[in-house]
Structure 1
Amino acid sequence: MLAEITVRNFAIIDRLEVEFESGMTVLSGETGAGKSILVDALNLILGDRADAQAVREGAERAEVSARFVLDDAPAAHQWLVDHELDDENECVIRRVVASEGRSRCWINGTPMPARELRELGERLVDIHGQHAHQSLLRRSAQRALLDEYGEHPDTLAAVADAAEALRATRDEIARIEQIDDAGDMRIDLLRYQVNELEALDLGADELDELEAEHRRLASAERLIGDGQHALALLFEAEDGAATDQLGGAERLLNDLAAIDDGFKPILELVTGARIQAQEAVDSLRHHVDTLDIDPQRFREVEQRLASIQDLARKHHCNPSDLPALADRLGEELQSLEGAGARLDALRADETRQTDDYRKAAKALSAKRAKAAKQLGAAITRIIQSLGMPEGDFSVQVTPEAHERINAAGTDEIEFLIAANPGQSARPLERVASGGELSRISLAIEVVAAARTRVPTLVFDEVDTGIGGGVAEIVGRQLRELGATGQSLCVTHLPQVAAQAAHHLHVAKHVAEGQTSTRIALLDEQARVEELARMLGGVELTAQTRAHAADMIARAHG
């Protein structure tokens, strides 16, 4: 659950620290005090897009951090383990937004991209906004809600996998079918090019070896002459060969070392130098003997290099790339020459994969139909308690509504409502009354939230457009959701606020021309005062306070 949140320089909040408990917590206050701003800050923590406009005027950056306790969040804890970010049983998320719009995120002290933050956030908090009914009017959102309620992810995944396999096969068929006369011409060209490259038969390391041999043959006379001269200086010179000089120095130092130990390390160095010089003589003599001036071989190497260069220029590539080019063109030729047989195999695959997709989609339709009945009944029960006693909500699943291949199956999902007796069920988007739509939307949110595995639920003024006894029932529904976890509710309704286990008051504070937001946890007496204010009236009376106290007592009696 969400244990605490710290906000600095975010919108009109300069600095704010709030601790939360389990159960239902309400946030109330005057319009514009900053209740929904706190929800916006939480959204930022959960990976929402960063906006420089959110930085408090005059500040360089906004910062939001939140600490979550993971006792009731196994999915979030497993995500942290998988990403090597787990820190016992807590998760601390920090997000900083600079005034120019740049954003940085940390999870348990490790920098992470916002994309990863969204993945984790989906496992920690589920936020239901006051405009949720707008998205619920979309068929795609209705389908997603039904699938989430039905809890059949494996069946959904099977349909998506079958659709992807079939789509890939059809794409390959279309590609091969495009091979026409131009394709035949391409095959002829490829055959010629592949034969030419195969005739060249350039080995992987041959080019480097040829270039090294070419340099050696081109400088053969110098290599032999200068090599023999160096051999003479080392060993064969009649007067002053290097090995003779080192031998003489070694004999003198040997005599001196017998008298003075200080000469011994010098003797060792000279002895080593003489031995290395002798080894150099042997190696030099052997290598010079292998050198030969071979004009015929030189011409052969030059011709081979010229052929390689000519073919590389023809294909507009580096000579070293010719072996890879030969492999690539050969693979393309093989693919095109086998297109006919490949096409037959692909068409057989298409038939089989189409059947697999239809079977998977049919299985998904069956599960959706079962979930639709349960969802419709659950939402109907709630809307009938929300001032629509004759309301009847249903979810219509039309199987095989379209032939196109879709990862979501072939069903058409539609939410229907009959608000009054004698009225036929109509699509949700055709509901005329805004109040009815708000109540239906709230019922859908409550039912959906009851199935969620996310430990913290946030309801941002989802009770807009209702009041009276209906509002009290809404409060009870939200309290029940918080009974097994944590729910945070932003509300203007005293009937909802009275149901909460904890009550936070949000207020604006002006000092030195600067506006800031403050949040305070209300004790029993302060809570009565706040509910009395929410009940209405410019001046709070004893009767209003008594009414507020009675509402709290009845809610928790």
Structure 2
Amino acid sequence: MLAQLAIRDVVLIEALELDFAAGLDALTGETGAGKSILLDSLGLALGARADSGLVRSGAAQAVVTATFELSADHPAHAVLAENGLEAEPGEPLIVRRIVKADGGSRAFVNDQPAGVALLRELGAGLVEIHGQHDDRGLVNARGHRALLDAFGRLDVAAVGAAYRRWAAAEGALAQAREELDAANRDREWLDHAVAELTKLAPEPGEEAALAEERAGMQRGARLAEDIAAVEAEFAGTDGAVAALRKAGRRLERVADDHPRLADALAALDRAIVEAEDAESALADGAQALRFDPERLDEIETRLFELRGIARKHRVQPDDLAGLAADLAARRDRIEAGEGALAGLTAEAKAARTAYEAAAAGLSDGRREAAARLDAAVAAELAPLKLDAARFRTVVEPLDERQWGAHGRDRVEFEIATNPGAPFAPLAKIASGGELSRFILALKVALAEAGGAGTMIFDEIDRGVGGAVASAIGERLARLAERSQLLVVTHSPQVAARARRHWLIAKAHDGLVTRTSVHALDSTARREEIARMLSGAEVTAEARAQAARLLEVA
């Protein structure tokens, strides 16, 4: 709900601060007094295009501040949260627009800099402005489906959930098909690669072990002659070890004759032990380095195969075993994927069937709600001097490519203003006055469907009077029981229905022309309604008639 509107230096308005409340407010005044300036100012705060011509002559800038009181569940909270501007619970929402004389503008939300696009997004949920040339709100067919759904209290959320499940199932199926198609393109290569690697049977670390064994055999080939010569020095009765043993036996017979001989014998014993160890180590080394031409050829062949296939697959030889497992698993997934694809296809089909059933139920509900809405609007047309007009709600199926979370229907409000005339969209067939009254009739019929917390009707009663004006006033008052309404009017019947009455006046002091807005008390209000009834000269009869209008209201 709009709680306050502060305007400074906008065209003829020097400074205004207006406090509003729930219910119906009427704004009246002489033609040219500045009623449109008031609405232009509010529109500026709600993101309308900035124009330096709005800045009062001689002023550096124009400033408009609108303060709104929001319910805890108002959609504006979500918009603020998305933009990192959450309002404290119970705190008002304050939007401010500054337009400089040089054409620049700035916008603020709760005293934080914001983009004009954010003001427009917030404004769409805060205020509905219905004028004779308005192309938004009810005139815009894009919002008709949501209005009909709200009027019929239809469960669109269930259809949206079914659509998202169907979309997710179709997405999973498409991805699985894409993966399977890509895998099938490689199927022949996979079969060959897996067979080749299975036959080779590579093992982790095999290449390094074979290379080490081959290097040892190659070293053994180079050292074979030297090793044989050393073995000859050790072996036989004339070898080094045998000579040491023979010397030890002789020395053992005389070692007791002198301490140094005993020392010599001990050293000789140690030498024999070391020589025996050396002979054993030499034998082991000779065996390890023994050159086997056949084994070397096997090793060379195996290494060639391992390294060749590793180069082919652009991996290290040690990674071949893992590659073989990966390729085999990939081939298995292809085979499993064909079975899984059938399951995903069935899931997508079931999800589509569920969506179609939910959407069909929604379509039925929309057609039933459309019939009730048409009847409700028809009941409002005759009192508004639109008895020759016809209204209908068109519910048509959409092309499958346009199906979505909203269902499968296109919804649009159409009218025919004269008997026998074809139906057409609201904006294309209704004149300014007719359009405003059609909007009012729709608003009354859709009252329980909700809408913005504040609605503004700009001269909805233009060109009508008497009983029609009274009917307009009665319907506006009825709407105001659910929403805050501001009505710019020239009709005394409408003004009399308001809970509060504001007078917009223009004054000239010889130098400067200013527009002012004043809340009228009961006496001043009767006088203003009498002026609206009689014109320039307010008569006693006009005052009496004004009093009667106020009593009836």
Please give the range of the TM-score, normalised by the shorter of the 2 chains: 0.5 to 0.7
Structure-1 residue corresponding to 2:106? 103
Show the counterpart of 1:507. Answer: 505
1:86-485 superposed matches below 5 A: 86-87=87-88, 89-99=90-100, 100-107=103-110, 109=111, 121=123, 124-132=126-134, 136=138, 139-152=141-154, 155-167=155-167, 169-170=169-170, 340=338, 343-389=341-387, 393-398=391-396, 400=397, 402-404=399-401, 405-415=403-413, 417=415, 423=420, 426-429=423-426, 434=431, 436-449=434-447, 451-452=449-450, 454-485=452-483
| The 10-residue stretch of structure 1 (57-66 or 439-448) with the greater mean CA deviation from structure 2 | 57-66
Inter-partner Cα distance in structure 2 for 1:336 and 1:95: 62
1:431/1:105 Cα in 2 relative to 1: closer, same or farther (>3 Å)? closer
In structure 2, how many angstroms separate the alpha carbons of the residues matched to 1:126 and 1:191?
A: 68
- Which amino acid letter does the alignment assign opposite residue 149 of structure 2? D
Residues 51-86 of structure 1, C-alpha deviations (whole Å, 9 max, x = no match): 25475155444322233445xx34239939995855
Q: Deviation of residue 88 (structure 1)? A: 6.2
Q: Spell out, residue by residue over 1:316-338, the C-alpha distance to the aligned partner (whole angstroms, 9 max, x if none).
A: xxxxxxxxxxxxxxx99999998
Contact preservation (8 Å) 1:14, 1:516: yes
In 2, Cα distance between the equivalents of 1:406 and 1:513? 61
Q: Deviations over 1:382-432 (max 9, x none)?
A: 11211234655443434x4543423322224343556677x5883455986
- Percent of residue pairs identical: 35
Which residue pairs with 1:527 in the alignment? 525
505-514 or 176-185, which deviates more: 176-185
Within 2, Cα distance between the matches of 1:176 and 1:513? 79
TM-score of the superposed pair, with normalisation by structure 1: 0.61
Give the partner amino acid of 1:103. R
Matched, 1:20 2:20: yes
- Paired with 2:511 and 2:186, the residues of 1 have a C-alpha distance of 77
Work out the CA distance in 2 between the residues paired with 1:335 and 1:12.
77
Q: Residue 55 of structure 2 aligns with which residue?
A: 56
**In structure 1, what residue type is equivalent to 2:159?**
V
2:484 alignment partner AA? Q
Number of the residue aligned with 2:494: 496
Tell me, which stretches of 5 or more residues in structure 2 are unaligned?
A: 193-201, 205-310, 315-328
Q: Which amino acid aligns with 2:55?
A: R
TM-score (norm 2): 0.61
Checking the alignment, whether the CA contact within 8 Å between 1:12 and 1:34 is kept in structure 2 is: yes
CA distance in 2, matches of 1:337, 1:101: 66
**C-alpha distance in structure 1 between counterparts of 2:509 and 2:332, whole Å:** 79
Find the aligned partners of 1:134 and 1:483 in 2 and give their Cα distance: 23
Q: 1:512 and 1:334 mapped to 2: Cα distance?
A: 95
For residue 6 of structure 1, report the CA deviation from its aligned partner: 0.7
CA positional deviation for 1:89: 3.8
What displacement does 1:170 show? 4.4
- Taking a change above 3 Å as real, the CA distance of residues 425 and 151 of structure 1, as seen in their structure-2 partners, is farther
Deviations 1:108-150 (A, max 9, x none): x555666665665555444333334776455433323212322
Per-residue Cα deviation, 1:231-285 (whole angstroms, up to 9, x for no partner):
xxxxxxxxxxxxxxxxxxxxxxxxxxxxxxxxxxxxxxxxxxxxxxxxxxxxxxx
Amino acid of the structure 2 residue aligned with 1:459: F
- 2:48–2:120 Cα contact (<8 Å) kept: no
- SS class of match (2:147): helix
Secondary structure of 1:76's aligned partner: coil
Q: Equivalents in 1 of 2:130, 2:429: separation in Å?
A: 23
Give the letter aligned to residue 545 of structure 2.
D
- Residue 50 of structure 2 aligns with an amino acid whose one-letter code is D
SS in 2 for 1:130: coil
Indicate conservation of the 8 Å contact 1:130/1:464, yes or no.
no
Distance 1:338 1:346 in 2: 12
Quote the offset at 1:371 in angstroms.
2.2
Q: Does structure 2 retain, via aligned residues, the 8 Å contact 1:137–1:429?
A: yes
Using the alignment, how far apart are the partners of 1:336 and 1:33 within structure 2? 79
CA spacing shift, 1:49–1:356, aligned 2, 3 Å: farther
- CA shift for structure 1 position 476: 1.3
Q: 2:72·2:89 contact (CA, 8 Å) conserved in 1?
A: no
* Alignment partners' CA distance in 2, 1:491 and 1:117: 27
Change (3 A) 1:96 1:456: closer
**Secondary structure at the counterpart of residue 42 of structure 1:** helix
Q: Does the residue aligned with 2:443 lie in a helix, a strand or coil?
A: helix
Per the alignment, residue 207 of structure 1 pairs with none
Deviation at 1:475, TM superposition (A): 0.9
C-alpha distance in structure 2 between counterparts of 1:78 and 1:541, whole Å: 47
- Tell me how far 1:534 sits from its aligned partner: 3.4
Matches of 1:337 and 1:11 in 2, distance apart? Answer: 77
CA distance in 1, matches of 2:528, 2:116: 38
Q: Mark the CA change 1:138 to 1:519 in structure 2 (over 3 Å): closer, same or farther.
A: closer
Please name the residue that 2:40 is paired with.
40
- Aligned partners of 1:401, 1:68: CA distance in 2, in Å? 39
Secondary structure of the corresponding residue to residue 404 of structure 2? coil
SS at match of 2:15: strand
Q: Is the 8 A contact 1:14 1:56 kept in 2?
A: no
2:523 and 2:390 map into 1 onto residues whose CA distance is 42
8 Å contact kept, 2:132–2:435: no
Kept in 2: contact 1:458–1:489 (CA 8 A): yes
Residue identity opposite 1:444 in structure 2: L
Counterparts in 2 of 1:407 and 1:61: CA distance versus 1, 3 Å = farther
For 2:87 and 2:377, locate their aligned partners in 1 and report how far apart those are by CA, in whole Å: 38
Provide structure 1 residue ranges, at least 5 long, that are not aligned to the other structure: 193-198, 202-310, 315-330
Distance 2:63 2:335 in 1: 62
Deviation for aligned residue 1:101: 3.7
Find the residue that maps to 1:556 and give its secondary structure. helix
Count of aligned positions: 423
Query: Quick one: which amino acid aligns to residue 104 of structure 1?
Result: A
SS at match of 2:406: coil
Cα offsets for 1:408-462 (capped at 9, x unmatched): 22224343556677x5883455986635444323211333345426543322233
One-letter amino acid of the counterpart of residue 56, structure 1: V
Match of 1:547 in 2: 542
